[in-house]
Amino acid sequence: MCGRFVLATKPSAFVDRFRIASRVAGDEEQFSFSEKELSDLEKHADELDEDFHGHYNIAPRSNVYAVSRLDHEAVTLETFRWGLIPPWAKDETFGDKCFNARSETMGDKPSFRSAFKHSRCAVLADGYYEWKQVAPKQKQPYFIHNENSEPMFFAGLFEPKTSSATICTMEADGELRELHHRRPVFLNSEEVAHWLNPDALRQDLIEVVLSSSDEGIVSYPVSTLVNRVGTVDDPTLIEPLSKLL
């Protein structure tokens, strides 16, 4: 599950990851972004950078940044309302229950199947929060992120008609399962290009999800101030609890 996350890194830094991956790949036979696509993404990122400021407590209904592609249209970098709203939904509140999409069923569930087929995205993040039950009536928030502090991509889906998006989740294992049995589908720079490949078959996309690794993902407890959505939104939220005590 992913119901709260952090984005403190500017969008241009995420696009830089694609440029680095492209240089490393060289002439290898694999789907990747073209030079024009990378240039366009860099332009989009520079525009978004101008008004960007970090958010440390992003919740559903907030705007999220994502690299996206609708069918065979050009790949773009834009913002979406978090909580996917299908075009047939009666009102925006429908998105409140669609901020996550289970990867096992997103290809068939009415709320997500069109987006799964036509409009996938990769949500930009620096980490996310999860809550661990430590007492009958007490939960401790943890910040989960890359051990090397590099930015993260979460597999996502978006609805172009309502400018809304969701984060795809999968079963967690290892240490992350001790915090919650679900986690976002993590994508590295190369996997983002495969996830957005307009010619990808259903099995291809399933393989991208199955290859999602939590290697190098770590966590630590943080202040319960993160529980207060809309009141606290600064870097202290991701400070290790041991430093705040």
| Per-residue confidence (pLDDT) for residue 47, from 0 to 100 | 96
With beta carbons less than 8 A apart as the criterion, state whether 223 and 237 touch: yes
Q: Which two tokens stand for residue 234?
A: 């600064």
| pLDDT attached to residue 31 | 64
CA–CA distance, 44 with 14 (Å, rounded to integer): 12
pTM: 0.95
Q: What gap in Å lies between CA 88 and CA 52, rounded to an integer? A: 32
Is 150 catalytic? The answer is no
Helix (H) or strand (E) holding 18: helix 11-25
- Residue 121 among the catalytic residues: no
Could you give the CA distance from residue 128 to residue 137 in angstroms, rounded to a whole number? 22
Q: What is the pLDDT of residue 32?
A: 80
Report the chain's C-alpha Rg in angstroms: 17
Q: How far apart are CA 84 and CA 96, in angstroms?
A: 8
Name the catalytic one among 78, 98, 121, 130: 130
Q: Where along the chain do its domains lie?
A: 5-244
Beta-sheet strands, E only, within 32-118: 55-58, 63-70, 76-82, 100-102
Distances (CA, A) of 146 to 63, 72, 220, 237: 22, 32, 12, 16
What's the confidence (pLDDT) of residue 163? 98
Give the chain's length. 245
Of the candidates 220, 225, 125, 228, the residue with the CA atom closest to the CA atom of residue 179: 220
Instruction: Select 5-244's CATH number: 3.40.1710.10, 3.20.20.80, 1.10.4190.10, 3.90.1680.10.
Output: 3.90.1680.10
Cβ atoms 4, 127 nearer than 8 A: no
Alpha helices in 51-164 (DSSP H): 113-118
The pLDDT assigned to 67 comes to 98
Considering only the C-alpha atoms of the chain, give the largest distance between any 2 of them, rounded to a whole number of Å. 56
How much is the pLDDT for 242? 79
Q: For residues 93 and 200, what is the distance between their CA atoms, to the nearest angstrom? A: 31
245: exposed, middle or buried (C-beta count within 10 Å: 0-12, 13-18, 19+)? exposed
Catalytic residue among 2, 98, 121, 168: 2
What is the CA 93 to chain-centroid distance, rounded? 21
- Over the chain (245 residues), the average pLDDT of each successive run of 10 is 92 92 56 88 96 96 97 96 97 96 97 97 98 90 95 97 98 92 95 95 96 95 91 92 72
